[in-house]
């Protein structure tokens, strides 16, 4: 919706250009208007929702509990920063999946520090960026670039990112939720069903950095958090990443 409003602002600028006879304003406004509209369409497709549904509809309420689910509820497993740091220090390939939580915590610079530590120890770090992650399109790309992260390390195509995830030693989900929800592929009753998502669970180990046990923007539970190879690191993204950096450095000093 914000992207569409941005498009309208461009069209208003173009109309003003016609009114005052300013060709630069006409061209700039038309480009901004077209860009905002195209981006709105791309985001709608990335959420598997029609453009009209995004503008006029509410994002589905959480479905009622699945039959037989009661009594068989698994609890997420947590891990300490010390143990997580040990795995990261010796990981050959790491994929970071940032989301809104990372943007809110302004953890991009801390994330870059972790990236550098892993790279110095011989690991390769990539970033999987979803078209609708971080609330504002392009927001995550901007803040990661601002932190000095190489643009070549960003995987902005969902299929390409999933191919890299399938061979990764560790996937780190930082403040993301709906874009890594397996129900988008497995549960036809989910409002997320059909939405293109990342598959971090195909990596050997998944670390999820999250403030608490709440749901994402869609309001639905995420079964990724209870998968056998998923481990939770609860807390503010910047603080948790800082703890991981501290523990990896402690490992180096211990050796």
The closest of 99, 90, 89 to 127, measured between CA atoms, is 99
Nearest alpha carbon to residue 76 among 205, 239, 208: 208
Residues β-bridged to residue 174? 98, 209
Task: Go through the chain and tell me how many residues it has.
Answer: 255
Nearest CA to 41 among 53, 28, 27?
Answer: 53
Assign 154 to helix, strand or coil.
strand
Q: Cβ–Cβ contacts within 10 Å for residue 214, how many?
A: 10
Out of 157, 178, 183, 187, the active site residue is 178
Residue 160 is a catalytic residue:
no
Query: Nearest CA to 130 among 170, 191, 186, 173?
Result: 173
Give the active site residues: 178
């Amino acid at each position: 919706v914000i992207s569409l409003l941005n498009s309208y602002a461009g069209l208003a600028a173009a109309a003003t250009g016609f009114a005052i006879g300013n060709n630069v304003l006409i061209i700039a406004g038309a480009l901004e208007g077209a860009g905002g509209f195209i981006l709105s369409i791309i985001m709608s497709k990335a959420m598997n929702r029609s453009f009209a549904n995004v503008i006029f509809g509410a994002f589905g309420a959480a479905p009622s509990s699945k039959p037989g689910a009661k009594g068989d509820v698994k609890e997420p497993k947590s891990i300490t920063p010390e143990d997580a740091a040990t795995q990261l220090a010796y990981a050959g390939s790491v994929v970071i999946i940032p989301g809104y939580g990372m943007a809110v915590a302004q953890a991009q610079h801390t994330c870059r520090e972790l990236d550098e530590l892993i790279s110095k120890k011989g690991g390769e770090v990539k970033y999987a960026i979803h078209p609708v992650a971080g609330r504002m399109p392009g927001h995550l790309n901007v803040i990661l670039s601002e932190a000095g992260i190489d643009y070549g390390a960003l995987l902005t195509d969902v299929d390409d990112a999933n191919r890299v995830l399938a061979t990764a030693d560790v996937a780190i989900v930082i403040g993301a939720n709906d874009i890594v929800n397996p129900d988008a592929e497995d549960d036809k009753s989910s409002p997320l069903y059909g939405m293109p998502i990342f598959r971090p669970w195909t990596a050997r180990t998944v670390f999820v950095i999250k403030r608490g046990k709440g749901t994402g923007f869609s309001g639905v539970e995420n079964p990724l958090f209870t998968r056998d190879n998923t481990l939770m690191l609860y807390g503010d993204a910047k603080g948790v990443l800082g703890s991981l950096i501290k523990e990896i450095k402690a490992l180096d000093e211990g050796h």
